[in-house]
């Protein structure tokens, strides 16, 4: 029976990213996807700046941006009675604002899923030793203490084969076969509202070009719907929410009826419209009670279903596997204890609960759950969730606390205060090379363990080099303030919270695992203890 360290079920953005991440970590995997290729519908579109940081650190940011739209084509969110009619409100989402560059050098991106997935697939296929197998479905599986045995079926020929894996990642979507087979309970609310996506061809530039937006919410007494920008020219989505509340059923959306509704929402009775596809769906807001089940891990929509209001579903899923894959790699390489894998649930599941609750709150504020005659333009937090995107803080055995309190935040959803306190994302700060080139701290982390030390941190650098021998972990030392890198301004000192003798250990997912504000008498032992704790090897 063939063997593989990791079997990935599902070839959407989450599964593809898991394949790419594992390959870059030197771990062999097999991804199986029952469809013949990548997505043919736009589905998710918004990629937030934190996910774009992940793509940047994996060397694929440019390819994703080239597949998507430039920021200037999606600068607004618009509410109107129709595209050609009265405008009700216009907002600039935080991710498109100039303030966002203070938090990250990386901007958000709009890239429809059917444009994104081919990029991720190509990048994953270019990596070794991962393997991708489309037209392959999971027929069944069993697991024991040694691993997972899966039965795979070739969709074209019907031929079946068995494969054994040490671990399995279930990234098989909201209707996850793996989750259902495991009998996992979902906590929250199921089927909160029904919707239909209409994919269409129509030239809407006369009513959109002077106010380029990612979303055009149509609020009228005849129809509530949303135009979704795809290529900002002749390819658009149109979303109708709360079907039952508005008196519709999925079967009502024939191509002719769908085109009629698009013209009504556009306010242009003679608009040429070609309907390319109609996809009914139901939004839920619930999260798996447990992400780890023996040697099987749930990720993406298999772990959490959330309304699309805010665009968090795909982003949360990509960040799930970014958290999981480095942990799997260390355990498979015998560089960490199995207990490290439990921290995947401990870190990601509470965050998914918060994100799902906020996505649902957005939907409620926009009147998605019932029919209403009032104009619902969304609560202030909608698309202003920088605190939730960048301020997430993990509390698990893979984080070594330093005794400092969390930053005082008035609204943790909207407000973000940069901090290198253990558990949080290593913050952006501009550093400068001798030739004047500026480098963000974001670009120094996310590729393995990194130790960022102050100007008098030579002893920390020596300790980092000693870790390969004592702990089996490669740690890249980076001295800031003496030599090739110096702070470009005060942000480094303010956000990282260390003096010239201190150091910060950043995990491979870009989150701070440990921090020492100042120099210590035995940096080798101190750093080794911190890594032992993260690796699950502390006594």
Task: Give pLDDT tens digits for 446-490.
Answer: 989 999 999 999 999 999 999 999 889 999 999 999 888 999 999
Please tell me the distance from the alpha carbon of residue 153 to that of residue 136, in angstroms, as a whole number: 6
Residue 20 — pLDDT band, cuts 50, 70, 90? very high
Residue 373 has pLDDT above 60, yes or no: no
Q: What's the confidence (pLDDT) of residue 111?
A: 97
Residue 530 has pLDDT above 90, yes or no: yes
Quote the tokens at residue 196. 């239909």
124-182 residue pLDDT tens: 999 989 999 999 999 999 999 999 999 999 999 999 999 999 999 999 999 999 999 99
Ranges of H-type helices in 68-127: 113-126
Q: What's the confidence (pLDDT) of residue 247?
A: 82
Q: Is the peptide bond before 193 cis (omega within 30 degrees of 0)?
A: no
Residue 513 has pLDDT above 90, yes or no: yes
Q: What angle do CA 345, 348, 351 make, to 5 degrees?
A: 130
H or E segment to which residue 275 belongs: strand 274-288
Residue 374 has pLDDT above 70, yes or no: no
140-150 residue pLDDT tens: 999 999 999 99
Residue ranges and CATH numbers for the domains of the chain are 3-65+111-185+287-388 (3.50.50.60), 425-534 (3.40.30.120)
- The percent of residues above 90 in pLDDT, for the chain, comes to 90
Please tell me the distance from the alpha carbon of residue 470 to that of residue 20, in angstroms, as a whole number: 29
285-322 residue pLDDT tens: 999 999 999 999 999 999 999 999 999 999 999 999 99
Residue 375 has pLDDT above 90, yes or no: no
Residue 196 — pLDDT band, cuts 50, 70, 90? very high
Residue 31 has pLDDT above 90, yes or no: yes
Residue 99 — pLDDT band, cuts 50, 70, 90? confident
Does the predicted TM-score (pTM) go above 0.85? Answer: yes
- In this predicted model, which residue has the larger pLDDT, 41 or 304? 304
203-247 residue pLDDT tens: 999 999 999 999 999 998 888 899 999 999 999 999 998 888 788
Read off the DSSP letter of residue 410. Answer: S
Mention every residue, 6+ apart, whose C-beta is less than 8 A from residue 456.
Answer: 482, 500, 501, 519
Residue 512 bridge partners (DSSP): 506
Residue 496 has pLDDT above 90, yes or no: yes
Residue 71 — pLDDT band, cuts 50, 70, 90? confident
In whole numbers, what is the pLDDT of the chain averaged over residues?
A: 95
- Strand bridging mode 296-298 / 224-229: unpaired
């Amino acid at each position: 029976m063939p063997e593989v360290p990791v079997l990935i079920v599902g070839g959407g953005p989450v599964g593809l990213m898991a394949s790419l991440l594992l390959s870059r970590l030197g771990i062999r995997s097999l991804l199986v996807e029952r469809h013949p290729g990548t997505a043919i519908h736009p589905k998710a579109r918004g990629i937030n700046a934190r996910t774009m940081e992940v793509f940047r650190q994996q060397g694929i940011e440019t390819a994703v941006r080239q597949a998507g739209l430039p920021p200037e084509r999606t600068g607004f969110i618009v509410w109107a009675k129709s595209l050609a009619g009265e405008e009700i409100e216009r907002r600039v989402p935080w991710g498109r604002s100039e303030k966002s560059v203070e938090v990250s050098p990386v901007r958000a991106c709009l890239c429809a899923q059917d444009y994104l997935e081919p990029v991720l697939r190509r990048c994953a296929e270019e990596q070794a030793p991962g393997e991708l197998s489309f037209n392959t479905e999971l027929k069944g599986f069993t697991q024991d203490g040694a691993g997972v045995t899966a039965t795979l079926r070739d969709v074209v020929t019907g031929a079946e084969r068995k494969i054994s894996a040490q671990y399995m990642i279930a990234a098989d979507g909201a209707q996850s076969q793996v989750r259902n087979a495991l009998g996992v309970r979902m906590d929250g609310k199921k089927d909160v509202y029904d919707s239909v996506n209409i994919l269409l061809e129509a030239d809407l530039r006369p009513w959109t070009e002077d106010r380029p937006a990612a979303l055009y919410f149509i609020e009228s007494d005849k129809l509530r719907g949303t135009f979704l920008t795809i290529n900002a020219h002749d390819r658009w989505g149109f979303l109708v929410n709360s079907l039952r509340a508005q008196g519709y059923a999925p079967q009502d959306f024939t191509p002719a009826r769908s085109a009629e509704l698009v013209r009504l929402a556009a306010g242009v009775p003679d608009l040429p419209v070609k309907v390319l596809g109609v996809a009914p769906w139901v939004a839920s807001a619930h999260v798996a009670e447990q992400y780890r089940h023996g040697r099987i891990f749930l990720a993406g929509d298999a772990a959490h279903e959330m309304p699309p209001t805010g665009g968090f579903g795909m982003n949360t899923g990509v960040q799930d596997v970014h958290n999981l894959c480095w942990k799997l790699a260390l355990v498979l390489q015998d560089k960490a204890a199995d207990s490290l894998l439990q921290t995947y649930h401990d870190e990601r599941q509470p965050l998914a609960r918060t994100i799902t609750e906020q996505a649902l709150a957005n939907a409620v504020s926009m009147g998605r759950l019932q029919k209403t005659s009032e104009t619902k333009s969304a609560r202030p937090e909608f698309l202003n969730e920088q605190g939730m995107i960048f301020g997430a803080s993990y509390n698990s055995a893979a984080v070594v606390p330093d005794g400092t309190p969390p930053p005082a935040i008035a609204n943790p959803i909207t407000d973000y205060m940069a901090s290198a306190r253990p558990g949080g994302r290593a913050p952006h700060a501009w550093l400068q090379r001798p030739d004047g080139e500026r480098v963000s701290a974001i670009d120094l982390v996310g590729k393995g363990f990194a130790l960022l030390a102050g100007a008098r941190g030579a002893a920390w650098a020596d300790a980092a080099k000693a870790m390969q021998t004592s702990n089996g972990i490669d740690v890249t030392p980076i001295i800031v303030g003496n030599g090739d890198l110096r702070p470009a301004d005060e942000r480094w000192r303010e956000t990282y919270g260390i003096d010239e003798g201190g150091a910060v250990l950043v995990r491979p997912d870009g989150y701070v695992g440990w921090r020492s504000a100042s120099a210590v008498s035995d940096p080798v032992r101190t750093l080794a203890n911190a890594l032992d704790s993260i690796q699950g090897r502390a006594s």
